[in-house]
């Protein structure tokens, strides 16, 4: 799986199409000009190369927040990505409203100084999983339990067979989660210059 991030100017994000082509070209080992972006029913992006029986379709996901665009592409099955900027928020109050009780208990036991980030790590995981499943947060997605966040590796999602989710370097201003359907995947992260 390739994950590309791009920072726009001010609050204007980098165009997702450009990042999708760059990521898919790296994944497929082909020129960006050979790729076409289309969409699945429901709006999720696909990157396609070729036509007819020689067509290769690569599932993709896009997330934008505060001038940052993140895209993920994966040849082996659906993918989801979500990004949020770390910020102060009423983490426990929001968790009580939206999260599974076990997640609220985990968050309440975390050091107060890191609860905002921990809340956002769970939130981005939920969003990424919903995108990978093609359902977003509909049908109780905010209450769908996530594994305890662990930066650097994908972990299976409880009670949802075949879905893995993880976080990438969450020490900076961004909180970034990726999810895949069908098993654990190697993640390559590229930040556009």
Please list the rounded mean pLDDT of every run of 10 residues in the chain (193 residues).
77 80 92 91 86 85 88 90 93 95 96 94 95 83 87 84 84 87 73 57
Domain count, the chain: 1
Identify the CA nearest to 32 among candidates 12, 15, 52: 15
Structure tokens given for 5: 């991030």
CA separation, residue 23 to residues 17, 50, 100, 134, 142 (Å): 10, 17, 34, 20, 29
Q: What is the pLDDT of residue 51?
A: 76
Rounded-to-integer distance, Cα 58 and Cα 1, Å:
10
Q: What is the pLDDT of residue 193?
A: 43
pTM: 0.89
The CB density around residue 43, as the number of other CB atoms within 10 Å, is 9
Residue 174 near residue 68 (C-beta atoms within 8 A): yes
Rounded-to-integer distance, Cα 156 and Cα 163, Å:
6
First-residue to last-residue Cα distance in the chain:
20
152: domain CATH number is 3.90.470.20
By residue range, what is the domain housing residue 23? Answer: 2-191
Q: Which residue pairs from 149-154 have beta carbons closer than 8 angstroms and sit at least 24 positions apart in sequence?
A: 149/118, 149/121, 149/122, 149/125, 154/178, 154/179, 154/180, 154/184, 154/185, 154/187
């Amino acid at each position: 799986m390739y994950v590309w991030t791009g920072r726009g100017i001010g609050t204007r994000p980098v165009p997702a199409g450009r990042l999708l082509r760059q990521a898919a070209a790296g994944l497929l080992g082909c020129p960006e000009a050979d790729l076409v972006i289309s969409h699945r029913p429901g709006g999720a992006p696909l990157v396609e190369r070729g036509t007819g029986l020689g067509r290769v379709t690569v599932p993709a996901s896009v997330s934008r927040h505060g001038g940052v665009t993140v895209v993920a592409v994966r040849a082996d099955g659906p993918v989801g990505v979500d990004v949020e900027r770390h910020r102060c928020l009423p983490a426990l109050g929001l968790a009580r409203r939206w999260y599974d009780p076990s997640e609220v208990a985990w968050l309440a036991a975390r050091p107060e100084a890191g609860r905002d980030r921990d809340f956002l790590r769970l939130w981005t995981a939920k969003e990424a999983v919903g995108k990978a499943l093609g359902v977003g947060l509909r049908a109780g997605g905010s209450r769908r339990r996530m594994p305890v966040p662990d930066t650097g590796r994908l972990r299976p999602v409880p009670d949802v067979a075949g879905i893995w989710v993880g976080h990438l370097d969450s020490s900076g201003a961004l909180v970034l989660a990726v999810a895949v359907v069908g098993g654990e995947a190697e993640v390559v992260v590229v930040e556009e210059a």
